Amino acid sequence: MTLDIYAADEQHDFPIDLERWVALCRAALEEENVKAPAEVSLIFCTEATIADLNEQFMGKTGPTDVLSFPIDPEPDPTGRVPDAGGTGPGDAPRSEIPQLVGDIVLCPVVAARNAVEHECSFDDEVALLIVHGVLHLRGWDHMIDDEAEKMEAREREILARHYHPSGA
């Protein structure tokens, strides 16, 4: 049983170290208690692609840096309801069915612009966006100030433990 991250680089504007970013994505998912078996997609796309997705799914015009698309909620406990004790009739073993956590779509062109604005490196910005995307998959939000502060603190916590700017 594994925590599978399917990564794809569908753009040519910036070189992307998929292995490095998959490792960070996996670490962030583990920090957020995603248990195997589970699947996540991590897609690096063009500015046009993310602008289309932003309009289609968020109702906003223009490109954005990262979008998250949660798929499955947390799996239900196995066993009988209401006590979840023991196997009920017809129960499929949950351990064999992967949770489809969702998709993270990130635009390196927008990340590069953000990095200049935020006075950080391109890699620092990509790392933040990956963790940000994972937190959105797990239900975190930043629509109100209190939520935003908690989400930013969690991002810093995960990055401090799992992101190394040199890539080492």
3-75+97-162, CATH topology level: Collagenase (Catalytic Domain) (3.40.390)
Least Cα distance to 32 among 149, 123, 147, 161 occurs for: 161
pLDDT by residue, tens only, the chain of 168 residues: 799 999 999 999 999 999 999 999 999 999 999 999 999 999 999 999 999 999 999 999 999 999 999 996 655 555 555 555 555 555 555 557 888 999 999 999 999 999 999 999 999 999 999 999 999 999 998 777 788 899 999 999 999 999 998 654
State whether residue 67 is helix, strand or coil: strand
Predicted model pTM: 0.85
